[in-house]
Amino acid sequence: MKNRHFLVVCIMVMLPLATPAQENIKRAFDALINDSQATVSATHKMNKDPESGVKEGQLDVYEFTLPISSLSLVKNIERAFDKDKDKAYSLNTAGTKGKKKYDYESLAVGGGNAYQLGDIRGSRYIYALFLDPDDESKAHRYAYVLEWLEGSKEIEGKLAITYATTLKYRQHKGLRTVITDGDTSLSFSLGDLENGDLEKLGELTHFGMSEVNVSSSESWLMNFNNYKNFFLKKTEGAAANVYATQIYKLCKKAECLEEAEKELVVSEIQKLKAKTTDEFIQQLFDMSINRLKK
């Protein structure tokens, strides 16, 4: 009997060591989702490698409204992020209260898509990134997200969980794009363009720009944000022409965007136009804006 009691005590002592890094956050998420005062709608997506069956991407989103009297459920999640922060490799918070414009930030979702934070105007958000404990290569991570806006009578918000490779892994591997023209093909990465690889830029000019993934507003905005950031690093010359042309090509296929998202992109393109003195690029940006306003 003493031996059995000793074994139970040992297991109880060891249990906290086996607790997942984001356990407090998960419990706080579940408490809000299952609360009787919460109105929740859920969206779930997951994709696996078709051969190995290994998970590559995941997106779980819970849109919720709560009466202001249940604010403690949101505060509990905030505290949970604080409790788990030492086990996260990244913790980020932002507040957009009082801002008239949307303030987007992207989190990768495996499969080349992204989840957008900040699409509730005036909201606050917090997210933390944790390595997947089952991935020995440390190439994948989970992201836990809380976004919310406190009104006078109710709270509007979202909880999200995304699964993808880490930014470090993606930067190391590089996201490659293949363009085909008849029997010839060209493979390049956005990193090639960011580094100003003139050979790749010349080949891209010869081939024309690639078709981008515009199957969802998330992937559209992620592509736009990539080229916007590259353009800001090189606002003149051959590289700038490539980035501006790609942005124009995106804007020709913006059917997946909602009106608020189009307004956001128009605002960003106007900022890009002010950064360059190249008249051709300025005209491309004007054409891009006109496409978004149709």
Which letter, b or e, does each residue of 204-243 get, where b requires 16 or more Cβ atoms within 10 Å of its Cβ? beeeebeebebeebbbbbbbbbbbbebbeebbeeebbbbb
Nearest alpha-carbon partner for 168 in 206, 138, 194, 128 = 138
**pLDDT tens figures, 147-184:** 999 999 999 999 999 999 888 887 666 545 444 434 44
How far, in Å, CA of 178 to CA of 188, rounded? 7
pLDDT of residue 148: 95
pLDDT at 96: 57
- Residue closest to 269 by CA, chosen among 250, 255, 288, 249: 288
Question: Which pLDDT does position 196 carry in this prediction?
Answer: 46
Q: Coil, helix or strand for 126?
A: strand
What is the pLDDT, as a whole number, of residue 233?
A: 79
Q: What are phi and psi of 45, to 5 degrees?
A: -140, 145
Residue 72 and residue 224: Cα distance in Å, rounded? 37
Give, for 227, the enclosing helix (H) or strand (E): helix 217-233
pLDDT recorded at residue 167: 80
Residues 6 or more apart whose Cβ sits within 8 Å of residue 2: none
209 contacts 104 by C-beta, under 8 angstroms = no
Give yes or no for a contact between 94 and 145, defined as CB atoms under 8 angstroms apart.
Answer: no
Q: Are 36 and 101 in contact (CB under 8 A)?
A: no
Residues, the chain, total? 294
Contact 180, 166 (CB under 8 A): no
Q: In 3-state terms, what secondary structure has residue 38?
A: coil
**Tens place of pLDDT for every residue, the chain, 294 residues?**
444 444 444 434 443 433 566 899 999 999 999 999 999 999 999 988 888 888 889 999 999 999 999 999 999 999 999 999 999 999 998 875 554 444 557 788 886 677 878 778 788 999 999 999 988 889 999 999 999 999 999 999 999 999 998 888 876 665 454 444 344 444 455 444 444 444 444 444 444 444 444 557 777 888 888 888 888 877 887 778 888 888 998 898 888 888 888 999 999 999 999 999 888 899 999 999 999 987
pLDDT digits (tens, 9 = 90+) for 85-119: 999 999 998 875 554 444 557 788 886 677 878 77
| CA 257/CA 218 separation, integer angstroms | 9
Q: In whole angstroms, give the CA distance from residue 17 to residue 28.
A: 20
